[in-house]
């Protein structure tokens, strides 16, 4: 297993737990930077595109979103600790039960944890950060599986990156408008 994978898991947990959004942004940049480094070790084209999107475009977008609608809710912190303590080992055991012990088990773990984090996060900005973690983990896993004619093909890599990045841009844009309209970032207001 790549020794950087546990660091990625730790960063994804920190992104979920922290309530200061500029600190969360720093964790997310670190996360994306490590993802880009891992990708660059094997493939120049996909690694560079991941670096561009993950370490430049995404932080700029998120910085803009935080500036527009930062809202800190410290009381959510306790629930998130409980979710993390329960879900991470439970998911690890689940993957072990399924027999996934290969190199990518940790990436699957990060992705599965991100999905639980998305569904339990109580702040729309938090959604966006966890979405980014899930998305970049997926793309890193994808590039490690995809054949050379995809990962060395610049248009192909940009197509895949754009297809996953554009909805995130739209979600960010909508989050800002949600905040403008409802003056709240509580996602549960959406469903009523």
Partner 1 sequence: MAALALALVMFSIVFPLVSALVFIVVRKEHKRVKNLIYFGQTFISLVAMAALLFFVGGGFSFTVVFLNFNVTLQFALVALAIVTANFLVMFYNIGHGYSGSIQYDIFMCVLLSSLIGGVFATDLITNYIFLDLTLFSAGYLIFSIKDGVRAAYKFTFMNFLASMLILFSIIIFSSYTGGFSIQPLTSAYGFEKLVFFGLLIGVLTKVGAVPFHLWVSSAYSESAVPVAAILAGAANCVGLLMLYKIMPILQVGYFLQIIGIVTALYASIIAINQHVLRKRFAYFSIAETGFIIYAFSLGNPEAIAGGFILLITQIFVKPVLFLFSGLLTEEHGLIKKVHNFGLFGLVTGSFSIAGIPITGGFLGKYLILYSAYLARDYLSIALLLLASFFLLYSFLLSYSKVSALKQESEPHFTTLMSIMILSMIIILIGLVPIITGWIWTL
170 binding partner 1? (CB under 8 A): yes
96 binding partner 1? (CB under 8 A): no
In angstroms, rounded to a whole number, what is the distance separating the alpha carbons of residues 105 and 118? 20
Q: Are 59 and 132 in contact (CB under 8 A)?
A: no
Helices (H), the chain: 5-17, 21-42, 44-51, 58-69, 77-98, 105-120, 124-145, 148-151, 154-182
**Contact residue for partner 1 among 57, 70, 115, 120 (CB under 8 A):** 115
Nearer to partner 1, 78 or 191 (CB): 191
Q: Are 52 and 157 in contact (CB under 8 A)?
A: no
Choices 7-15, 35-43, 49-57, 158-166; region in contact with partner 1 by CB under 8 A: 158-166
118 binding partner 1? (CB under 8 A): yes
If binding means CB under 8 A, how many residues of this protein chain bind partner 1? 39
Nearer to partner 1, 74 or 190 (CB): 190
**Contact residue for partner 1 among 12, 32, 39, 175 (CB under 8 A):** 175
In angstroms, rounded to a whole number, what is the distance separating the alpha carbons of residues 36 and 39? 5
């Amino acid at each position: 297993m790549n020794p950087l994978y546990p660091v990625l898991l730790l960063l994804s947990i920190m992104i979920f737990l922290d309530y200061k959004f500029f600190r969360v942004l720093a964790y997310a940049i670190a996360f994306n930077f490590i993802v880009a480094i891992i990708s660059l070790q094997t493939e120049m084209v996909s690694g560079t595109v991941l670096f561009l999107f993950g370490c430049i475009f995404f932080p700029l977008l998120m910085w803009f979103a935080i500036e527009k609608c930062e809202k800190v809710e410290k009381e959510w912190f306790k629930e998130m600790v409980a979710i993390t303590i329960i879900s991470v080992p439970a998911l690890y055991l689940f993957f072990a039960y399924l027999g996934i012990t290969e190199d990518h088990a940790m990436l699957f773990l990060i992705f599965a944890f991100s999905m639980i984090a998305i569904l339990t996060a109580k702040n729309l900005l938090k959604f966006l950060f966890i979405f980014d973690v899930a998305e970049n983990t997926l793309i890193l896993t994808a590039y490690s599986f995809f054949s050379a004619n995809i990962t060395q093909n610049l248009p192909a890599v940009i197509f895949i990156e754009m297809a996953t990045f554009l909805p995130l841009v739209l979600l960010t844009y909508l989050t800002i408008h949600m905040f403008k309209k409802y003056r709240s970032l509580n996602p549960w207001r959406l469903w009523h």
